[in-house]
Amino acid sequence: MNRKAKVEKGVFGAAPEIDASLPTIKGVSDDGVVAAAIGRIGGGVQRLICSTAFYFGAMSKAKKVKGYTYNTAWEEYYTEYYAANPLQPEAKRKAKANCVIYAKVARLPWDSQSYAGQMFDHPHGSQSQKTAALNKLIEDYGSKAPTAEEFAKLLPGPKAKGGGPTETTIKAWAAGKAKAFADVRDDENLWGQIESNATLLARFEAASEKVDLFNAMAATITDKAKADAKLAAKLAGKPGKTPAAKVPAAMLKGGRRPKDATVQ
């Protein structure tokens, strides 16, 4: 397998499906050309750009290129991939950090390819959390590979289960999405780029319409617990009007039921 084919397949994880060929790689200096080509592919290339970062990081280690970071190559990828919709500064910083970390991991003095692949494919944690874990890997295991147990401790854990969405959280989500679209319209630079591109504008308007529908739906949601409490308060003090109590089926056998209980 030549270097070109290896990058097209990806150096860790499942092979990304792409409809374009990447430039032939002759050396580390080809990283920017390859990264830009990946950017032009567009859509679903996160694994490809991260595994390519690892690939060039490993090549830089093999060729003893000091201080290699993949930063410049990622900027060339960004120029192509985000040309139509640039990221805000903080979002760009995170996106870059989530990618170039794989080049840093590749430069560790031990074979880190399987560790990088395991982290990328780990089912729990955001890419930013995985980046933090890889930074911890570099910090704590800069000279010797961790054991399987030690590496497992670095992997992000599953998200804690909450109480589920409520009337308040659903309406907050809806309001937040509506505000995001309003903020885009208020951003003269970003909105100008969208408005001047017929395809982007059509997609934006279609998405905006769905957000409006989401808000309309959210407005109809009521909190059952609050409604029940309101009803109980309304009926308080009215004899014979207390909310019906559920009666276990076993207690109803033979036509019997406990006193002061009504069947719901």
Instruction: Measure the CA–CA gap between 56 and 25, rounded to whole angstroms.
Output: 10
Residue 30 is predicted with a pLDDT of: 94
Question: What residues contact 211, with CB distance under 8 A and at least 6 apart?
Answer: 174, 177, 178, 181
Summarize the confidence of residues 39-68 as an average pLDDT: 91
| End-to-end Cα distance, the chain | 70
Residue 24's φ and ψ, nearest 5 degrees, are: -65, 140
pLDDT beyond 50 at 228: yes
- Contact between residue 177 and residue 214 where contact means Cβ atoms under 8 Å apart: yes
* Structure confidence at residue 235 as a pLDDT band (50, 70, 90): confident
Average pLDDT rounded to a whole number, residues 136-162: 91
Mean pLDDT over residues 183-209, rounded? 83
Q: How confident is the model at residue 209 (pLDDT cuts 50, 70, 90)?
A: confident
Contact between residue 55 and residue 11 where contact means Cβ atoms under 8 Å apart: yes
Residue with tokens 């874990």: 133
Query: Do 71 and 44 contact (CB within 8 A), yes or no?
Result: no
Element at 73 (helix H, strand E): helix 71-81
| pLDDT greater than 80 at residue 3 | no
pLDDT bin (cut points 50, 70, 90) of residue 193 is confident
The dihedrals phi and psi of 202, each to the nearest 5 degrees, come to: -65, -40
Does the pLDDT of residue 9 top 90, yes or no? no
Where are the domains positioned within the chain?
3-154, 167-219, 224-255
Contact 82, 152 (CB under 8 A): no
Q: pLDDT band for position 257 (50/70/90)?
A: very low
- Do residues 185 and 191 touch, judged by C-beta distance below 8 A? yes
The predicted model gives 14-21 an average pLDDT of 61
Distance CA 167, CA 169 (A): 6
